[in-house]
Amino acid sequence: MSEPAAPLMYSDPISLVIRRRVRPGQEEAYEGLVSEVGRQMASLPGYLGSGVVRPAPGERDYTLIARFSSAAAARAWEESPRRAEWLRRLDDVVEEQVSFEKQPGLELWFTAPPAQPVPQPPRWKTALLILAVLFPVAQAMGWLLAPHFLTWPPLLKALLQSAVVVTLMTYLLMPLATRLAGNWLKQ
């Protein structure tokens, strides 16, 4: 199974989003191979993390998301012999590759579910919406948390504040903001 390689001209973080249909009865083998490839990628420069979206009951399409600090870091993985060998081993457990996408920056927040493909919003709208949500949340968290952690070292306070803001942004605020701003993002 090979994935198309396309040249990328930006240095933003990038997510590789690969959907594969696993052969019936091969789910455990696939998950083992995915765990293995996660360990392999962890040693690469520029690797930021990965995750798997498991299929809904009755479905067989898995989604693997691998995040890299730049297109060059992602390309280094895509062209590596370790990946080529891993893909050869994957042939036995995967029926087909359904899709392969490269999502730059934070656009993964704006990706429509696979059943409803729509064009991505312009990057300036993405940036503006993130700023509109992030700025007040970051300010509020600083104001709310500061009195409770006065004696903490500055870096530890910043880490706590960042963890709270990222969690709120990822799981609550950005999904809500993208739904509310949906029409504007599509224009």
Angle between helices 81-90 and 27-42 (to 10 degrees): 170
pLDDT in tens, the chain (187 residues): 444 444 444 457 888 888 999 999 999 999 899 888 888 888 888 888 888 888 888 888 888 888 888 888 888 999 999 899 988 998 889 998 778 888 776 555 455 444 434 457 888 888 899 999 999 999 998 888 888 888 888 888 888 888 888 888 887 888 888 888 888 887 7
Domain limits at 142?
123-186
Residue 82 covered by a domain: yes
For residues 16 and 100, the answer to whether their CB atoms sit within 8 Å is yes
Angle between helices 123-145 and 154-168 (to 10 degrees): 130
End-of-domain residue from the set 70, 105, 140: 105
Residue 44 covered by a domain: yes
End-of-domain residue from the set 44, 78, 105: 105
Measured CA to CA, the distance from residue 178 to residue 185 in angstroms comes to: 8
3 state SS of 187: coil
Instruction: Tell me the whole-structure pTM to 2 decimals.
Output: 0.53
Domain at 28, CATH number: 3.30.70.100
End-of-domain residue from the set 58, 78, 105: 105
